[in-house]
Amino acid sequence: MDFFEAGGETVGSTLSWVLLYMALHPEVQEKCRQEIFNCLGVREPTMNDRGTVPYTEATIMEIQRCSSVAPSGLEHKALEDTELDGYTIKKDTLLFYNINSFFLDRDYWGDPEKFRPERFLNDDGSKTLKYERFIPFGFGKRVCMGESLAKAELFIFTIMILQNLRIKISANHAKPDPGQYEAGITRSPLPFHVTLEAI
């Protein structure tokens, strides 16, 4: 049960970020939608469609990077005395890492404060790139065991949302600020208002 509860919260929070970032970046939303309609039409997506919509996949990855839904990875334990960058880490020491710091590293990403899905695409935009510091599900032996399921859900749900709905900033409410969020074990956007239009 914990597996489904943890996965439901993180996927649900990420989908909230999808709505927020798509509303804030209508040009990205439209580019994803055009790619989806060109490759899939109106049929429901399947996991076999991965790789056919690289811009959409890169957009999901950029949303994960910018939102950092699970900013702290699971703890690891030193199996033996170790030295790292001049520090001695004793055997059995619990170690925590800050995933968010990986996502905001200017030396690695160049412009981490910008929402730019293209950073995850090769030069001609035909496929997504793998980055060592893109670790939304953690790394090592303690990687999130729901990673495959979460990736599948995010892929399917995001495509279905974009096939059926246009997401806009609500004219009657303040523009949401992605820099403001509810922090806890997971990170969720503060409540925000968008307008959903059927396509």
The annotation places the binding site for heme at: 144
Which residues are annotated as part of the binding site? 144
Rounded Cα gap, residues 140 and 181, in angstroms: 28
| Bridge partners of residue 83, in order along the sequence | 88
- What is the C-alpha to C-alpha distance for residues 111 and 9, in angstroms, rounded to an integer? 29
Report the distance separating Cα 142 and Cα 76, nearest Å. 7
Cα torsion angle, 136, 128, 45, 38, sign: positive
DSSP for 129-165? PP-TT--TT--GGGS-TTHHHHHHHHHHHHHHHHHHE
- The CA angle 4-51-30, to the nearest 5 degrees, is 90
